[in-house]
Amino acid sequence: IDIKKLRGESGGLITLDPGFKNTGSCESAITFLNGEEGILRYRGYAIEDLAEKASFLEVAYLLIFGELPTQQQLDKLYADIKKESHVDEEMKKILDGFPKSAHPMGVLSSLTSALIAFNPSAVNVDSEEDMYNAIIKLLAKFPVLVAWTLRKRNGQPLDYGDSSLTYVDNILKMMFKKPSENYEVNKVVSEALNKLLILHADHEQNCSTSTVRIVGSSHAGLFASISAGISALWGPLHGGANQAVIEMLEGIKQDGGDTKKYMQKAKDKEDPFRLMGFGHRVYKNFDPRAKIIKKSADDVLNSLGIEDPVLDIAKGLEKEALEDSYFVDRKLYPNVDFYSGIIYRALGIPTEMFTVMFALGRLPGWIAQWREMRLRKEPIGRPRQVYIGENHREFKDINNR
Ligand code: ACO
């Protein structure tokens, strides 16, 4: 490397780290992650404990405000959320404008952006109180948008759910209640969703979270920052992997279930195919969330009496990868999304909605990271580059090129 090229205008050095593999963008007190040992903690609490013992709303409070809530604090949070759960009727017209075939992530990101127009007070947040109000509005309205996105896709009338239910059960009801039916929340489904949302709730400076922080660093506002985060999450190398995993597993099943053939494809450097749901930028031994989720997939399928051959294909691929030097050498293990799609499917959630469910789970993490960034008064995010283009060139008229 020519050291002169690394010099910035000020004469200082510019570090070059494509993909930010070794670059910290901020200091943060929210999530601790040790990729070598497979440790994940939110505000110091082990993910295993939270997934087993806490509710999603408790975890949201923990991530955003730093402590596990007392019952009183949790009740107040939920009471505040319920007061803000109405979404402006005009928003329904925006939803109506989308074709039924629109990808739910595009719909969700657009609707989240559109919320700004109907909640202008949530844009300029100069005090902690303003911030709190914007956060409550989003925690209240986002699940409604998620449910509307699904109902639009299913051609069902929109619904506001039932405020007598818990936060998660209300989401289920908003999503699945049919017009002429009394919806009873299934305990297995509710517990599984609670767990999945907790496991996805934060993961330090991943692609979408970094997006939220960097957009928020220009003081663009909470809703705009989250909308950008949703777009970042959409890609198959990030949150979109859960959809891609099921599509891949179904493809393998339809192709006769020959997992070895697909292992070979994944190893072939001439073939762009990757084994979706394998590998992680940070976890190089195992993803602790994948461990919890694998067991949960078994439990949910058993409790609901579902036999899913796709689960067998998933287990087969995992076993083969664990014994294959390509995957072992590169430390490629199943990540959280390898098994999450199987559970979402068992819960009756269409494949295209999987990444939307991920966004629903990640919302408190994005909010917590945005709030931390604003409270710490972080400067605008503005990476530098190492220029490798042409030097000065003389302009030529279009007729002379
Ligand atoms: N299948 C086959 N080979 C893989 C895979 C895979 N899933 N993942 C990585 N590799 C290989 C690469 O080809 C590369 O091989 P090489 O050294 O011979 O060139 C090596 O492993 C390192 O891969 P990178 O892409 O450099 O690793 P990086 O840390 O940049 O990427 C990522 C991590 C994006 C998760 C990657 O493993 C991947 O694409 N996985 C599949 C998609 C996926 O599951 N994403 C979800 C991530 S978790 C989440 O967002 C919630």
Checking if the pLDDT of 335 tops 60, the result is: yes
pLDDT of amino acid 226: 98
The residues carrying an active-site annotation are 280, 337
Nearest-atom index, ligand 1, CA of 19: 30
Checking if the pLDDT of 57 tops 90, the result is: yes
Q: What is the pLDDT of residues 317-327, one digit of tens each?
A: 999 999 999 99
Enter the tokens of residue 23.
Answer: 């670059």
Checking if the pLDDT of 101 tops 70, the result is: yes
Q: What is the pLDDT of residues 204-253, one digit of tens each?
A: 999 999 999 999 999 999 999 999 999 999 999 999 999 999 999 999 99
Confidence of residue 182 (pLDDT cuts 50, 70, 90): confident
Q: Answer yes or no: is the C-beta of 321 below 6 A from any ligand 1 atom.
A: no
Report the candidate in 350, 165, 130, 134 with the shortest Cα–Cα distance to residue 242.
350
Residue nearest to atom 18 of ligand 1 (CA): 269
Give residue for tokens 């078994």. 298
Checking if the pLDDT of 7 tops 60, the result is: no
Residue nearest to atom 11 of ligand 1 (CA): 330
Question: CB count, 10 Å around CB of 49?
Answer: 11
Checking if the pLDDT of 10 tops 70, the result is: no
| Ligand 1: centre distance to CA 330 (Å) | 9
ipTM associated with this complex:
0.95
Ligand 1 pocket test, candidate residues 105, 207, 281, most atoms within 8 A of CB: 281
Is 113 buried (19+), middle (13-18) or exposed (0-12) by CB count in 10 A? middle
| Ligand 1: centre distance to CA 331 (Å) | 10
Q: Answer yes or no: is the C-beta of 232 below 6 A from any ligand 1 atom.
A: no
Q: What is the pLDDT of residues 343-399, one digit of tens each?
A: 999 888 999 999 999 999 999 999 999 999 999 999 999 999 999 999 999 999 999
Confidence of residue 145 (pLDDT cuts 50, 70, 90): very high
Distances (CA, A) of 176 to 152, 189, 213: 12, 12, 33
What mean pLDDT value characterizes the chain?
A: 93
Q: Answer yes or no: is the C-beta of 271 below 6 A from any ligand 1 atom.
A: no
